Every structure is written in structure tokens, then in C-alpha cells.
Amino acid sequence: MELRHLSSFVALCTALHFGRAAERVYVSQSTLSRQIQRLERELGVALFERAGRRVALTPAGRTLLVHAQHVLDEVREARLALRGAAGCLRGPLTIGCFDGAGVYFIPKVLAVLHTSHPSIVVSVATISTRDALPAVRDGAVDAAIVVLPVPLDGIQVVPLFEEELVLTLPVHHVLRSLRRVPIRMLLDQPLITSRPGQGTRQLIEAAFSAAGRAPTVAYELESVQARKDAVRAGLGLAILGKTSVLRPARGTGLLTRPLSPPIYRSVGLATRAGRPPDPLAVSLPEMAVSTAVQLGCKPLAQGDA
């Protein structure tokens, strides 16, 4: 019985959906299915009742879940204890982050972290805030950069910074002459966004609703880079985090403009509540805030979560 199989099992118990569980442990759906089948063969029992991609736990599965969570917690506690005994920060540390934070922000944070701890081993997984929370609770990631607010069920959050969202448009767009674009002027413009339910999309929808009605969504693309490429191709406009579109280079075919009224998103670091803090995760907030300030963001106080 391998730890990665237990991790996949716990993820599937939480999601009860093969696709979402696979995303949480960063494997393909077919790989996750094979891991679960191997675990069932090894134990000689069915752990799930399957109905398409959706599943339900069997009595044997519920029994194993209790023990699997305990085993994974004990392994993590042992790793933390060994790090403390060694008196240094070496990792491995797995950080989840929403796609917008991974463009400029996270690479700069990792550069600062590497300067302080050159032997550190860090793995970064791109994951939405919605999917990051169960991943943190399950231990699939040690910490996650998330869009606030988030439900605090089994989660503790350190507020980091506030980031302005800006309009991204093609260089020849009719709105290029405006220094600041009123949201009401975007009501009929085709918008390229993330899928419904994502934190940043909810902020955009709220701002458009206040301006008169819901946005005209033309495309839903998960990747920030894909949204920028779609804007460049003339498929619509996008509203992205300021740090995702820093200093558009000449020749990229993109411009950015502030919005009126402005839209801001709050960003924080989520870790699992009730678990001894990982020394590496403890050191991240200060590095993250200082990096965000250098990128033009406003630091948040503890009460801003």
C-alpha cells in the first residue's frame, strides 16, 4: 500500500468525483482510477460504488478513510518533526495557487525563498481557490494562495495583499483612448473569463451587476495565458489581476486600462487548521507580502480576511 494511493483515495472520498479528485492530487483521471483499482485489489474489497464518474463510499471505504487520514497525518507530522530537528528549512513544500498568481507573483516569491533557503524543494500546483480548500484540508498541498474570503471550515487564513483588477484589451480596440474605462461601457462587450464559481469571476459579476446587468461572457478559459491570447486574437476583453499583466511588452498586441469603479481582489494564504504549522509555510506570508508590495499591491491586515 503506497502513500500516494492513500492520498488519491482520500481525495476521491472528499470529492466523490473522479475528475475533481484527480485535479486535487495532480494526476490524470485514468491514473487516479488505476490507483483506486489497485488499492481495492490489494485490500480485496470494494471501496466505492461507481455510477459513471460519480462515486459513493462503501462501508469498507468509510472504514479505510478513518485510518487513511490518520496515516497521512502521521506521515506529515513526522516530516515536520524531522525538519525541526534538522534546524533548517529544506522542504519538500507543496504550494497551491490560483492561475493568476502563478504568472508573475509566485515565481518572484520563489526567487526570494530560494535566496534565503537555496536548498529548499518546492512544488507549485495551479489550482482554483474552490479546489484548493479541500486540497489543503486533505493534505494534498501544504498551503495555498487563495482569493478571499473563503469558508473557514478546517482552514486557517493569513491575509496577504489586495490586488487591483484591470481591463486587458487589444491594442487597436475602440476603448484604447480612455485612461480609465467605466464598467458600464463594458456591459455589451464580449468578455473572456474563468468558469462560474471562481472567486475572481464572482467579483467581476458583482461589479457588472452594480453597473446594470451581468457581463456578456463570450468564452470561459481557465488559463490566464489563454485569456490573454484570446484577447490578442480579438475574441473579446478580459479583466485580470494587475500582477498577471505587468508591463505588457511592445509588440504583444495587448493594452491594460484601470476600471471605474475599480475592482479589487483580496489574496491570502490558506493552511489546514489545527495542524502544527509547517516551518516553510510560516515563512511564506512575509515573503509574499513584500513581493506583492513591490508589484504595486496593497498589504492586508489580519482582520481583512
192 SS3 class: strand
Cell of 196: 462560474
Bigger pLDDT: 231 or 284? 231
Q: Confidence band (pLDDT; 50, 70, 90) for 82?
A: low
Rounded to whole angstroms, the Cα distance separating 205 from 217 reads 10
Q: If you average pLDDT over residues 273-296, what whole number do you get?
A: 80
pLDDT of residue 269 exceeding 90, the answer is yes
CB atoms within 10 A of CB 94: 21
Which pLDDT score, from 0 to 100, does residue 250 have?
A: 56
Bigger pLDDT: 243 or 77? 243
ω before 248 within 30° of 0 (cis)? no
Q: If you average pLDDT over residues 280-288, what whole number do you get?
A: 80
Per DSSP bridges, beta strands 181-182 and 259-260 are parallel
Sign of CA dihedral 41, 42, 48, 54: negative
* Chain position carrying cell 459513493: 56
- The β-bridge partners of 155 are 272
Q: If you average pLDDT over residues 130-142, what whole number do you get?
A: 87
In angstroms, the Cα distances linking 71 to 21, 56, 83, 136, 235 are: 19, 22, 19, 16, 49
Cα angle 53, 57, 61; round to 5: 125
Rg (alpha carbons) of the chain, rounded to whole number: 21
Q: Confidence band (pLDDT; 50, 70, 90) for 273?
A: confident
CATH code of the region 1-86: 1.10.10.10
Residue 259: which H helix or E strand, with range?
strand 259-260
Residue 19: which H helix or E strand, with range?
helix 18-25
Average pLDDT of every residue of the chain: 87
Tens of pLDDT along 102-118?
888 898 998 888 887 77
What percentage of the chain has pLDDT greater than the value 70? Answer: 90
Which pLDDT score, from 0 to 100, does residue 301 have?
A: 83
Worst-scoring range by mean pLDDT, 52-61, 83-92, 176-185, 232-241? 83-92
pTM above 0.85, yes or no: no
295 SS3 class: coil
Q: Confidence band (pLDDT; 50, 70, 90) for 37?
A: very high
Bigger pLDDT: 178 or 275? 178
Number of helices (H), then strands (E), belonging to the chain: the values are 9, 14
Q: If you average pLDDT over residues 76-97, what whole number do you get?
A: 67
In angstroms, the Cα distances linking 131 to 21, 23, 137, 258, 292 are: 9, 8, 10, 29, 23
Domain 163-264 has CATH 3.40.190.10: yes
Overall size of the chain counted in residues:
305
Residue ranges of domains in the chain: 1-86, 163-264
Amino acid of residue 84: G
Which pLDDT score, from 0 to 100, does residue 219 have?
A: 97
Which pLDDT score, from 0 to 100, does residue 265 have?
A: 95
Cell of 277: 504549522
